Chain A
C-alpha cells in the first residue's frame, strides 16, 4: 500500500484540502486522521443553531458518507495524532500505530483554553466539538442557571442560545466591554446592552477568581467578592493551536509556522487552519489562525502546493454571528482603525459600522444588513 497524502485533522481546512486534491486530479491514496468519531463537519453552527435543536446534527457534515466513498477518501475516525516523526515521514497515533505519508497536512485546529483551576469539574465545559454542543444542550434542558465565562463570540452566542431556551444566564467578561479591543468601545457597549435587553445578567470588568464545589461547580466566584450560583459553567476565553503532537520537529511552538501556500520549514509537511501560524504583516509576527474563511482557503492552497500548482491563500479576516434576532457579518481588520463611522440605528439593530485608517476603510461590521455585504467587500478591495 502506498503512503499517499495524509491529512491530520477533520475540520474545515482538512476537508477543503481533501476536496481540492481530488478536484485538481490527485488520484493517489488519501487519508484523513479525524480525532472525533464524527465525519468532518462544520463548527460555526455548534454555538448557534446546533444549541437549539438536536435534529440538525446530521446536516452539519460537510459531505455525505457517500462522498468519501466516491472520492476514495479514507476517514480514520476516532484516531488522534499523538506524535510526528518528520524524518521517517510518519504520524504516530494515540493507539500506537503509525501512519506513513508522502505529504502531510497538519490541520488539527485549536483547542479551547481552560484554566487549571476550572478543570476536573463535571459541569464545567468548553465548546469546540459536536459532543461539547450536546453537553451544553443537556445543560440547557436541565434548566440552569448558566454562567458563561468570557464574552467573545462563542460566549455571546452561547448566552443568546441559552436565553432562547429559557435558561437564566450570567455573562462574565474581564474587559470593560465585550470585544472592545477588536470592534471599539461603542460597539462593545452595544453588545453588552444587547444581552442585557434579553435578560442576561452581564458582568463586565470582573475576573473569575475561583469555583466553589468539589466534583461539581456550585458557584463562580468573582474578584469583587460576588458569588454566582451555577448549574453549569461554559468557559469561552480563547483557544490555542492543537499542535503539541508535532513537537520536536522544528515546526514552531505556537502553531505550525507556514507560508501563504501552507509550506512549513520541513519538507513534505504543510499546515492550514487554526493549527497554522502565518505571518501577519500588520503586527509583524506569526499568529495562529482563527478564521473560518482563512481555514478554507489555506486548506485549498496547501492541496495545490502539494501537487506543485500555484497556491496562495489571502488571509482576509471575516466572520459571522447570530445573536438573538441579529445577524452580524464582519470583514477586515478593525483593530487597525483610527476612525469608526456608524450608519443606521443601533437601537433598532439595523446598522453598518465602517472602520477606517488614514481615511481608507479597513473593516466593515454589518448588523441585519446582509444585502450590503457585496458592497462592503468591494469597498475593502479598493
Chain B
C-alpha cells in the first residue's frame, strides 16, 4: 500500500493502542512503537487516530502528511 508512518519517539509513550488496532503494522519494542509491516491505508490511519499521544504521522506515497 501507499502509506508510511513517521513515529515521534519523543511523543510515543508506548501505550500500545496502535499495536492493538494494527498488529501487522505496528509493534511496541521497548519504550517506543515501531513499524513492522504493512496494511491497507485505512488501517494505517485508524492506528494513527487511536494513538493517545498523537505520536504517529501518516505520509502518503509522495511524502505528504495526511494525518494528523
Contact = CB atoms under 8 A, between A and B. Distances in A.
Nearest to B54: A373
A329 B28 CA distance: 25
Interface in A12-26: 16, 19-20, 23
Given A300-B31, A374-B6, A374-B57, A16 B15 contact: yes
A296 B15 contact: yes
Contacts of A1: none
Interface residues of A, number: 19
A7 B15 CA distance: 18
Given A296-B13, A300-B14, A300-B31, A370 B53 contact: no
Interface string A358-382: 0000000000001101100100010
Contacts of B14: 20, 23, 300
A333 to B, nearest CB: 16
A48 interface: no
A377 B10 CA distance: 9
Contacts of A329: 54
Contacts, number: 38
Contacts of B15: 16, 19, 296
B53 A374 contact: no
Interface string A291-304: 01100110010000
A253 B35 CA distance: 44
A371 B54 CA distance: 10
A82 to B, nearest CB: 31
A20 B53 CA distance: 16
A36 to B, nearest CB: 20
A23 B31 CA distance: 10
A23 B20 CA distance: 14
Contacts of A320: 54
Interface of B: 6, 8, 10-11, 13-16, 28, 31, 52-54, 57, 65, 68
13 contacts: A293-B53, A296-B15, A296-B52, A300-B14, A370-B54, A370-B68, A371-B65, A371-B68, A373-B68, A374-B8, A374-B57, A374-B68, A377-B10
Interface of A: 16, 19-20, 23, 42, 292-293, 296-297, 300, 314, 320, 329, 370-371, 373-374, 377, 381
